[in-house]
Amino acid sequence: MVSSLENAVVEVDPVSSALVRRIDGLPGARGAVAVPGALWVGGSTASYRIDVTTGAVTATVNGGIGYVGAITADDASVWVRKGGVTLQHLDATTGALLEEISESISADVLGGGGDVLVAFGALWVTFFDDATLIRIPLG
């Protein structure tokens, strides 16, 4: 569970509801996605890779999801959706920036916040200020 007010992620046992682990120091933690062996957390100014075995932050990538963005992943990649028209494509294991997709997405889209999702072989990106959904094929 992500707590943006406390800048933390907490792991809760689903059976007993007991607190298993708390990871602090994640400014503006707002969204999280799981990849094999890790949890990626999108914060206000950075994104964080957390090892699920140790709870250690193993990568920090500047940029974050801000207050109007989102984070999504598949097994190999993480996409960080910031406000405006920018996506960071990260390696899910190392956090290395693989590419940055920005204004070249569409001349008709002005930006603003929105969501991002990986599904059906594509990256789906919304822009709520423009009432727009775009599909970016993967692979």
Domain ranges of the chain: 2-137
pLDDT at 128: 80
pLDDT at 105: 57
Q: Residue count of the chain, please give it.
A: 139
Q: Which CATH class is domain 2-137?
A: mainly beta
C-alpha 131/C-alpha 100 separation (Å) is 23
pLDDT at 127: 81
List the structure tokens of 47.
Answer: 């994104």
Whether residue 117 contacts residue 124, with contact meaning beta carbons closer than 8 Å, is answered with: yes
C-alpha 139/C-alpha 131 separation (Å) is 26
Tens of pLDDT, residue by residue over 110-130, are 567 788 999 999 989 888 877
Give the residue ranges of the chain where pLDDT is below 50.
Answer: none
Whether residue 93 contacts residue 74, with contact meaning beta carbons closer than 8 Å, is answered with: no
pTM: 0.86
pLDDT at 21: 93
pLDDT at 126: 84
